[in-house]
Amino acid sequence: MFSIEHEFDSTVVTLVDDGGAHLQEDVVINLFEDCITVEQYDPRTDSMSKITLSIAQADDLAAALDLPEGVYMLKKEKPA
């Protein structure tokens, strides 16, 4: 299950683990104009863990989800 909310300066996607046993904490993804942050509560440290991806890294990740094992470089299209 997931939700999508539009805030003033970002879009927030929350992923809820609704699978079987060993459920993980919710993952909150904030999509800003210049970066994407991914946050998840860590009960071992009682704190939020956060990573920041550039837009280029997020594009690479999205492409990687549909590719077989290997090393790739995305071609950037030049504006017309």
**Residue 12 domain-assigned?**
yes
pTM as predicted: 0.80
Which two three-digit tokens encode residue 34?
A: 């210049």
H or E segment to which residue 47 belongs: strand 47-54
Count of beta carbons in the 10 Å neighbourhood of residue 54:
11
Does 58 fall in a domain? yes
Q: Is the pLDDT assigned to residue 76 strictly greater than 80?
A: no
Residue 6 lies in a domain: yes
In a domain, 76, yes or no: no
Provide, for the chain, the percentages of residues in helix, strand and coil under a 3-state DSSP scheme, each rounded to the nearest 5: 10, 40, 50
Q: Is 75 within a domain? A: no
- Domain that residue 46 falls in: 2-64
Closest residue by Cα to residue 57 from 33, 29, 26, 36? 36
Give the tens place of pLDDT for each residue, 13-50. Answer: 999 998 878 899 999 999 999 999 999 999 999 999 99
